[in-house]
Structure 1
């Protein structure tokens, strides 16, 4: 079956940006397989509207917002008895044991954050977005973004200090 120009454009976009979108989703979920599922669901929803987005100035922002909404609604649907299990990154870039332990500890602390705080921190530090853009994507005020970032960073600091045995 021949592909339409719209479908071909979507396929090209996914081929070019798919790995970056998967990394973004993985940082949100902390689970590689769940990230794949979530990304697939978000891309399926975006595909329906691709003919309207293909000429947009920043289709990636729309796709990230779809992923973010999928992630936030998925977290609401989860059973309260299920908890995500964070896995350490597959290919650590630093092989020093102490640094790897700190990285794993930070990963676990990030996984324990509430979903809004985690989303804000991923968007700020991984995607390097400013507060206005994060507020637009998450659907809240800039003040709320700053509050989530501040509380999330404080929780991460406390977690790291606690694990090191330092006073809070």
Structure 2
């Protein structure tokens, strides 16, 4: 890669890294998996950087790579070792109740199928419009609406039961 192109890619990565890791964490539920997912997506973007840079929306291009990479990762996932039930690390001071609540929400998100999880994360946690989510997922707005409705219905059913059972 030429120096100016590489500098452009570095500035892209530097400015988007925190948000991408946060989104990846919400998609995967684990910090290590999130960082791996973002790194894999950025490697793919790097190899196609000239095409990414020339696209109408480079952010959407890279986010779509990340979402598709996560879906591929989940398809290949056969056996997963879970050592402990965990509460996520936080950057700031959180009360135990907030950590427990966050843990329940993350556990409920992990129960959703990958497409539904992606629509909920992108719509409500990334605050993207239905048309943006449809473009990122390569689908129609109606599909985003139906996937989101199904996911929210499932979360409404499962969150109270998980809270009552004392999960995560």
TM value normalised by structure 2: 0.85
Matches within 5 A, 1:65-84: 65-79=64-78, 81-82=79-80
Matches within 5 A, 1:57-96: 57-79=56-78, 81-82=79-80, 87-91=86-90, 95-96=94-95
CA distance in 1 between partners of 2:25 and 2:90 (Å): 14
CA positional deviation for 1:60: 1.2
CA positional deviation for 1:163: 3.3
CA distance in 1 between partners of 2:35 and 2:69 (Å): 12
Where 1:5 maps in the other structure, the secondary structure is helix
CA distance in 2 between partners of 1:141 and 1:42 (Å): 23
Q: Which residue of 2 aligns with 1:138?
A: 137
Between Structure 1 and Structure 2, how many residues are aligned?
Answer: 164
Cα gap change, 1:68 to 1:86, in 2 (>3 Å):
farther
Q: Is the 8 A contact 1:86 1:108 kept in 2?
A: no
CA positional deviation for 1:58: 2.6
Q: Is the 8 A contact 1:109 1:159 kept in 2?
A: yes
Unaligned stretches of 5+ residues in structure 1: none
CA positional deviation for 1:93: 5.3
TM value normalised by structure 1: 0.85
Deviating beyond 6 angstroms after TM superposition, the runs of 4 or more aligned structure 1 residues are 83-86
CA distance in 1 between partners of 2:121 and 2:53 (Å): 26
CA distance in 2 between partners of 1:155 and 1:140 (Å): 21
Matches within 5 A, 1:139-158: 139-158=138-157
Where 1:54 maps in the other structure, the secondary structure is helix
Q: Which residue of 2 aligns with 1:109?
A: 108
CA distance in 2 between partners of 1:97 and 1:135 (Å): 36
Where 1:88 maps in the other structure, the secondary structure is coil
Report which stretch shifted further, 109-118 or 125-134: 125-134
CA positional deviation for 1:151: 1.3
Q: What's the CA shift string for 1:85-137, capped at 9, x where partnerless?
A: 87432117573333432221111111111111100001101221111221121
Report which stretch shifted further, 156-165 or 17-26: 156-165
